[in-house]
Amino acid sequence: MILRLESLKPQIGARHRKLRKGRGIAAGQGASCGFGMRGQKSRSGSPTRPGFEGGQMPLYRRLPKLKHFPMVNTKSFTIVNISKLAGLKQDSVVNLNSLKECGIVTNPRNPLKILGDGEINVKLTVQAAAFTARSRQKIKALGGTCEIID
């Protein structure tokens, strides 16, 4: 037998006849059609909107919005833009301790991350936990090096 689109049909017993409600007692679903006598859920139309909890404050309004949920296992960095490194001496080694001595970083609690905002005009050896692609590109363009430390 060749399988063609026009020869496809469901298996026997897979499809049931639609129940015709409200067509008399003999039909099995006469009068109230299985919805009971009175009440909100027996009325025509959709009984309630999705998420309605009978007047109780619904779940979607009880929960805090997504931006206020705490992030799990976040990595915090001490962030320094590359423009702050422009005033340093040629061929100097830049790390968290040297930046604290220079006064660029005041309170180094977290590992150092270098961002690529601004311009740099000196060759540096930068030791940091993380670099953005733009900052790494700008440092290497002047002949400097980027060393990742833990």
pLDDT at 12 over 80: yes
Of the pLDDT bands very low, low, confident and very high (cuts 50, 70, 90), residue 66 is confident
Give the whole-number percent of the chain exceeding pLDDT 70: 99
Expressed as residue numbers, the domain containing 40 is: 21-69
pLDDT at 19 over 90: no
pTM of the full structure: 0.54
Number of domains in the chain: 2
- In this structure, the answer to whether residues 89 and 133 fall within a common structural domain is yes
- Determine the pLDDT at residue 145: 94
pLDDT at 39 over 90: no
Hunting for tokens 């296992």 — which residue is that?
Answer: 73
- In this structure, the answer to whether residues 88 and 107 fall within a common structural domain is yes
- Determine the pLDDT at residue 33: 87
- Determine the pLDDT at residue 119: 92
Of the pLDDT bands very low, low, confident and very high (cuts 50, 70, 90), residue 40 is confident
Query: What tens digit of pLDDT does each residue of 113-143 get?
Result: 999 999 999 999 999 999 999 999 999 999 9
DSSP 75-93: PP-EEEEGGGGGGSPTT-E
Of the pLDDT bands very low, low, confident and very high (cuts 50, 70, 90), residue 57 is very high
CA gap 48, 139 in Å, rounded: 62
Query: What tens digit of pLDDT does each residue of 69-89 get?
Result: 777 888 899 999 999 998 899
* Residue 31 within any structural domain of the chain: yes
CA gap 28, 22 in Å, rounded: 9
The two three-digit tokens of residue 128, written as one number: 């940091």
Would you call 114 exposed, middle or buried from its count of C-beta atoms within 10 A (0-12, 13-18, 19+)?
Answer: buried
* Residue 5 within any structural domain of the chain: no
Last-in-domain residue among 44, 69, 94: 69
